[in-house]
Structure 1
Amino acid sequence: MERHAPLSWQSKSLLSEISDLAPDIVCLTEAHEGSTSSLGGHEISAAGIPWSPHSETERKVVLWSRSQWGDVQCPEDIAAFGGVISGETEANGIRYRVIGLCIPYASASPLGQHPKRRMWEQHKDFLNALSLYIPSLDLSVPTITLGDFNRTIPSSWGSKSAYAYLIEILTDFAVLTAGLADEQGKRSVDHICVNFDYSKLEIASLWRGAENGKKRSDHSGVFINILPAVK
């Protein structure tokens, strides 16, 4: 959402498009508390660590569901380095664990910290904490990990060691958005990963621009229509 407030034209336009897709679950990054109010349903969010001056309502991650959330977790060890929130919700009669992430970008450094962190340092610390959290979950529950990963998959630039670590963390997941590009050919740094087999999958990129030619966000969105396989 590129930090646009809920009443901004950018936010209203994006949420209108999201509403038209009639989703069961939504993840927004760099958004605000209440960003999904026009959708009804149920929202949970995490403030995370700011990189620059911010408002009190800004949230690194916002998760929304048509159904209520349960077992909501905001792991402090991960949240100390970026944005994360996790919860369980139901869609089409199936209970899912959803993990929303906002992984620090390459040069991220907490607001006010001196000296600033080195390139990829904040990113790697976030991944290290995430690597301890995911195995602590009951992965027999269908799990969706999604959000702003701040890098392409497969990797096209950046720290090779950080990328290898990310792929290792996602060993039990399929990265459904790997290689996805928007209509201008820009590859996505926002991803959706699942740890279950599926019988149906549709993937699309949601253009970051608006019909008037103006930019709504710095990232294009990602949409999937997925049906888990019946065991």
Structure 2
Amino acid sequence: MRLINWNIERRGPHTWQAASLVSEIHSLQPDLVVLTEAHLSSLESLGGHVLSHRGYGVGPKTDSERLVLIWSKAPWTDIPLPPSLADLGGAVLGKTEIDGRAVYCFGICIPWHMAPTSPPGEKTQPWKQHELFLDQLGPALDALSHLHPLIVAGDYNRRMPRAWGPHKSYEKLEAALTGLDVVTRGSLAPLDDMTIDHVATRGDLRPTHVRALDRKDASGRARSDHFGILVDFD
């Protein structure tokens, strides 16, 4: 089973950046794709099925923008999440089938450290919205402990292990992910760089290959401000 996780920096479906990113994703033949800062039709050319979440209601967004989008070749069963979580960032959860086996995919976008603070109009406080989301993520994952295998992928907005930022918020992240295996920790080949877009699992999924996908195209042009992540599972 192959998963690709990428933040595509709000690139519209008709931009060259999105076309290049989607072309590469398609060429890699994934079974699951998690996009953050995407558009509802970002993966339309792949066929398949999507679930998405518009994201919390702070900051300007076009009608087509989705903070989180998950894609599968097979249909999804949408699994409701607590509003206390979804209203604080980006979160969508679905069940699909891959080679006849049920797989649960939880796509998230944890607000970045300077994300506008809820409610709208309140002065932005660094890390506050990030931490509010994490305070709800742990209990939500505990409530989903019966779902196996579970993949939690998306934009975590933190390097793992911690590279910068307050210890408090990093400790909240690690606590929220108790019982999950973060397979994207540390520097990733071939870019020799640490990511803020992670893949964590619970259950009997065993990663056999993890690598970074270049944010630049073949001519050196930046397609996104994030590089992508590819994970193969046994």
TM over 0.5: yes
Distance 1:7 1:111 in 2: 31
Task: Name the residue aligned to 1:226.
Answer: 233
What residue number does 1:57 align with?
64
Shift of 1:161: 1.2
Q: Which residue of 2 aligns with 1:180?
A: 187
Match of 2:5 in 1: none
Does 1:159 pair with 2:166?
yes
Query: TM-score scaled to structure 2, two decimals?
Result: 0.91
Aligned length: 227
Q: Deviations over 1:154-202 (max 9, x none)?
A: 0100121111111111111110000133655431000001112345511
Deviation, structure 1 residue 212:
1.8
- 2:102 is aligned with 1:95: yes
Letter in 2 for 1:103: I
User: Does the CA contact (< 8 Å) of 1:75 and 1:85 recur in 2?
Assistant: no
Among candidates 209, 212, 215, match of residue 219 of structure 2: 212
1:34 to 41, 54, 57: 41
The reply to whether residue 17 of structure 1 matches residue 17 of structure 2 is no
Unaligned runs of 5+ in 1: none
Tell whether 2:118 aligns with 1:118: no
Cα RMSD (Å): 1.8
Contact 1:75/1:84 (8 A) holds in 2 = no
- Map 1:56-95 → 2, pairs under 5 A: 56-95=63-102
Instruction: Structure 2 unaligned segments of length 5 or more: list them.
Output: 1-7
Point out which structure has higher relative CO (alpha carbons under 8 A, 6+ apart).
2
Q: Deviations over 1:79-103 (max 9, x none)?
A: 2211000011111222111100000
Q: Aligned equivalents of 1:135 and 1:9: distance in 2?
A: 41
In structure 2, do the counterparts of structure 1 residues 111 and 4 end up closer, same or farther at CA, with 3 Å as the change threshold? Answer: farther
Identical amino acids, percent of aligned pairs: 37
